[in-house]
Structure 1
Amino acid sequence: MATVTAWAAELRRLDADAWVDYLVEHSGLPGPRANTTLVAAAAEVADAGGVDELVRDGGEFPMMCAAAAVARRAAPGRDARARLFAADDRWRVREGVALGLQLLGDADPETLATTVRMWADDDSPLVVRAAVAAICEPHLLRSPEMAAIAVEVCARATERLVARPQARRHDSAARTLRQTLGYAWSVAVAADPGPGLLAFEALDTADPDIAWIVRENASKKRLARLL
């Protein structure tokens, strides 16, 4: 069962109280890779009651699916729960949010653009990180307008990172944001190199964290061939 459509059809066939066992059985966990196709199917099918059932279970994969379902329906003024998931301690739950936002972008690019711009100014580095991870996905950046939003979000996220007090720049949440910025700039710039390179080359590498971000991105093949 390799497609989102096939997994979604199977989930629709099941009663809601059978979802958790089914999702866990087919999660691919424990293992190096979760079944993200199944996560996308759950995000498509789950209603509010289904999300609550997954959250009540609290397991890693059900929570990842719940996070994706909530983020897929995020919109300005209706995204508080998605932001909470984005700041979860578990990285798979945070990845569920990024995946859900990307599914939102597939269906409604304008809402995704508005959402990630707002999240880029959040006080939580993990929420900022979710915005960066969501928009810096190549298949979402096929227009100059969306590529420009990705560059803007990367720039604002970088500013948020270096505006933190020095003592808080290297806590766990800030390190997670920095790590994501260490590849995301290259995705955003490669999508539309002209304006993207201008923004990237304007980064102030006198700051050690920005210097690290620039080095990491410059080492990525998609950007190295442009520099």
Structure 2
Amino acid sequence: MGKRENYRSELTPILNDQESLSQFLIQHSNLPGRRANLELIHAFADVNKNLTSVMKWTKFSEEDANVNDPTAFLVFCAAVSLGQIYTETRDEKILLRLKEMANDTRWRVRECVAFGFQRIGEHEFTLLKKIFSDWLHGANNYERRCILVALAHPDFLNEERANYCIEITNKILEELNPVEDESFRVLKKGLDFTISVYVSAAPTVGFMFMNSWIGKNRIVDSVLKTNLLKNRLAKHYPQKVSLLLDFLEVK
């Protein structure tokens, strides 16, 4: 068995013992450290069905547990688990909580919220489309970044779905409001890699989309260049990438 399967076996007998469960997760969190225990996070989401307990864990704020604090690992586990539970319950309060958590100041919480939405997309992509299409209107930069990152998931992307992702990205770029604040920096970091994921899954529409944005503004040009240099594009589509990079230099 792999790590994830082993963790599922260890977690299952203690799921109803909240003290033992939380202690196990914290002790095996790999925090403080450079990489939280993602295998354990996903194993927990695979087996947990207890919405009440994970909702309680989401209430640990940064003041209670900063991003590198082992206790914050419970929040990370909760975010991914909420997505999995939503696939089974369609409980709207889960979506409301995930949306709030997408605005968390801790980057690892934001990452795990995206993982939670990916669980929904793996289960039913049309459901994720509806959630994000409804959510996009009025979404702030943190929430838009969450949408982009959640959709940049090769496990459920095909050409048709990637075309939808490109449409969403186009809307976000059209409404881009460059300001010197943390939320915009977070959004830009998301744009800096997600576009390449979509384009690699739908290259025909994707490269046309990238070409259409060249020269429109300095920040988008920077985003496009960063994506074009990603191996998933540069390695597999060298001629198209070279051509667009040349266009960027001319512009």
TM-score w.r.t. the length of structure 2 is 0.80
Structure 1: 5+ residue runs without aligned partners?
Answer: none
Q: Is the contact made by 1:20 and 1:54 (CA closer than 8 Å) also made in structure 2?
A: no
Cα distance, 1:211 vs structure 2: 1.2
1:207 aligns with 2:214: no
Q: Distance in 2 between matches of 1:153 and 1:8?
A: 35
TM-score w.r.t. the length of structure 1 is 0.87
SS at match of 1:138: coil
Equivalent pairs counted in the alignment come to: 221
The two structures, once aligned, show a CA RMSD in angstroms of: 2.2
1:220 aligns with 2:233: no
Show the 5 A alignment for 1:13-92: 13-14=13-14, 15-44=17-46, 45-55=48-58, 59-72=71-84, 73=86, 77-78=92-93, 79-92=95-108
Q: Is the contact made by 1:129 and 1:157 (CA closer than 8 Å) also made in structure 2?
A: no
Q: Distance in 1 between matches of 2:113 and 2:59?
A: 18
Q: Kindly report structure 1 stretches of 4+ aligned residues shifted beyond 6 Å.
A: none
1:98 aligns with 2:123: no
Structure 2: 5+ residue runs without aligned partners?
Answer: 62-70, 241-251
SS at match of 1:202: helix
Aligned sequence identity (%): 27
SS at match of 2:189: helix
- Alignment match, 1:144: 159
**Alpha-carbon displacement from aligned partner over 1:138-178 (angstroms, at most 9, x marks no partner):** 1221x222111221222222233x2x2x5xx2210111011
Cα distance change of structure 1 residues 104 and 217 upon mapping to structure 2, 3 Å threshold: same
Answer with 1 or 2: which has the greater Rg: 2
Cα distance, 1:209 vs structure 2: 1.4
Q: Is the contact made by 2:160 and 2:202 (CA closer than 8 Å) also made in structure 1?
A: no
